[in-house]
Chain A
């Protein structure tokens, strides 16, 4: 249903080697027009190299990069209609705001009146109409951020690359900028490719996220898919928080798999349709803290009879408002995280309480290792 023309950016089999180091390994993906696409991965996973290849600062060792359907492999960076917001923004300190934004327009030979109009227009759109004559060092962190985006957007790029631009900001501003970026993307309706190692940035803003590890894409999908239906152990471990056990498959029961952890604990999880597990395979089991229910031992529970249950003792309570958790020391000494509600009343769990942890089979995930 989507034809070729609708992709702003297509990468097919893109690889990059630096000497013996394989920085990017056979990466393929398509990004539809007007979407917010994030590449999420730990530092050193090759995401910056991938971005630099798209911008034209590096040449791929193999594969093809197409923008609006046209290969750009032989196009120098200044001729690609891909603009980039750098990690430290790289605003030109010797020019004022107006000159920074006008720079790109001057490079393509736009006449003076048009430049003036376009700069005013883009400044309006980022809600900073009065800063044109300011020097860069007079701007706040958030303003610089927006100027850096405006400097690119005034050129009407096919794709805007953002290389962890929020990294240098403090936490509060970062939270605000996440929302702002998303709004700006909607407003300009341009394809944004956002590179980050911070999963909350990627999950909050993106239409699609690619999880990158060791030069490869592990999984591409919508944020909630990645969270709830990870296809690899890496994604399950990297996206969101989860408890993890290693063990062996001991039994198959229809659509369920029984795994005995290295400590001897038996856990159930659903069989994976894509890559079914078989008896004797070693596997990892993941469960997210929010699906674990922690109940004081001996207390009455409404939802009894969950298949997966572990007993333990509360090691500590991590109070964080709505996101409060308990750390429970399991039978083999491992620490398990579980979400709890801390009301401040006498029913709250306290360190030293004996608890039972249980969770539904459907929410646990297991992957062959």
Chain B
């Protein structure tokens, strides 16, 4: 009797999660798999086959775009880590208790406006007749307006700005859990700043670093608006490719296949990253 009740409550507790996973993750993805394996042979006529995937392999434009998206996402992740770590360290360890909350909130502010508004903010700043260019003209540093927009550097900057928060949050929470005495012990036992950073702080923060990197990489590789709006004539992003397949070309089958390829690709990169850093997913999540 008692055990029945226990079992029932366990099932009830588990139900929302199971429903969420099944209805919103598994079933749509199954649908995507099925869709991606349909080949269009004529209007309203489809056949089962791997044609959509073969198309991807045979068309260098597609896999070049995927590789480009992947490598730029890795660059963005790396930059977000390099920039985000000192910020997170400052918030968690150096800032006073009172200013810590305020700083954290400050980091959250960009999330309050939509992606679109943020991208337009960058456009206003960086365009040829924008704030930065005009300011440089005014100071006399340059003698004609400069276009900062529409190139890969802008895309990377915009993406780093958009995702850096997702790096800072897990880093702050891991670093916050670190006893200050650990750092002092690192110095006390003879380590200089670099040794303490390399041998104590970074290894301690590793779970936070890895989870931050995973989130940031996935967000970047899957982002759409920022690369589209800030990108130049040549900057293709894989999500744009998927959108085009679905919307412009009405080619849902190959769009689904592309979506799946993106998922597989990012998963492989994350897996490789975990292997290289010697972390496990469980470790990363559990230590949070």
- Do A and B interact directly, with beta carbons closer than 8 Å? yes
Residue of A55, A88, A90, A108 near B190 (CB, 8 A) is A108
Please tell me if the beta carbons of A78 and B179 are within 8 angstroms of each other in the complex: no
Please tell me if the beta carbons of A104 and B190 are within 8 angstroms of each other in the complex: yes
Please tell me if the beta carbons of B181 and A90 are within 8 angstroms of each other in the complex: yes
Residues of B within 8 A of A (CB): 179, 181-182, 184-192, 195, 199-200, 203-204, 206
Bound CA span A68–B114, Å = 63
Known: A94-B204, A94-B206, A103-B199. A86 touches B192 (CB 8 A): no
Closest chain B residue, CB of each to CB of A105: B190
- Residues of A contacting B181 in the complex (Cβ-Cβ under 8 angstroms): 86-88, 90
Please tell me if the beta carbons of A107 and B195 are within 8 angstroms of each other in the complex: yes
Separation in Å of the A215 CB from the closest CB of chain B?
Answer: 22
Known: A78-B192, A92-B185. 11 other contacts (CB 8 A): A56-B187, A78-B187, A78-B191, A79-B190, A82-B188, A86-B185, A94-B203, A94-B206, A95-B203, A103-B191, A104-B191
Residue A151 interfacial (CB < 8 Å):
yes
Residue A329 interfacial (CB < 8 Å):
no
Closest chain B residue, CB of each to CB of A76: B187
Residue A155 interfacial (CB < 8 Å):
yes
Known: A88-B179, A103-B199, A107-B195. A57 touches B190 (CB 8 A): no
Bound CA span A65–B189, Å = 19
Interface centre among A90, A107, A152 (most CB of B within 10 A): A90
- Residues of A contacting B199 in the complex (Cβ-Cβ under 8 angstroms): 103
- Residues of B contacting A95 in the complex (Cβ-Cβ under 8 angstroms): 203
- Residues of A contacting B188 in the complex (Cβ-Cβ under 8 angstroms): 55-56, 77-78, 82-84
Known: A94-B204, A103-B199, A107-B195. A155 touches B182 (CB 8 A): no
- Residues of B contacting A302 in the complex (Cβ-Cβ under 8 angstroms): none
Of all A-B residue pairs in the complex, the 10 with the closest CB atoms, nearest first, are A104-B189, A107-B190, A90-B181, A90-B185, A86-B181, A94-B203, A77-B187, A78-B187, A107-B191, A90-B182
Residue of B189, B203, B206 near A107 (CB, 8 A) is B189
- Residues of B contacting A57 in the complex (Cβ-Cβ under 8 angstroms): 184, 187
Bound CA span A153–B108, Å = 46
Bound CA span A86–B182, Å = 9
- Residues of A contacting B187 in the complex (Cβ-Cβ under 8 angstroms): 56-57, 76-78
- Residues of B contacting A108 in the complex (Cβ-Cβ under 8 angstroms): 190
- Residues of A contacting B189 in the complex (Cβ-Cβ under 8 angstroms): 78, 83, 103-104, 107, 151-152, 155
Residue A321 interfacial (CB < 8 Å):
no
- Residues of B contacting A93 in the complex (Cβ-Cβ under 8 angstroms): 204
Please tell me if the beta carbons of A92 and B191 are within 8 angstroms of each other in the complex: no
- Residues of A contacting B182 in the complex (Cβ-Cβ under 8 angstroms): 90, 92
Closest chain B residue, CB of each to CB of A57: B184
Q: What are 26 of the A-B contact pairs (CB < 8 Å)?
A: A55-B184, A55-B188, A56-B187, A57-B187, A76-B187, A77-B184, A77-B187, A78-B187, A78-B190, A84-B184, A87-B181, A90-B179, A90-B182, A92-B204, A94-B204, A94-B206, A103-B186, A103-B189, A103-B199, A104-B190, A104-B191, A107-B189, A107-B190, A107-B192, A107-B195, A151-B189
Known: A92-B200, A93-B204, A94-B204. A84 touches B191 (CB 8 A): no
Closest chain A residue, CB of each to CB of B191: A107
- Residues of B contacting A83 in the complex (Cβ-Cβ under 8 angstroms): 188-189
Separation in Å of the A196 CB from the closest CB of chain B?
Answer: 17
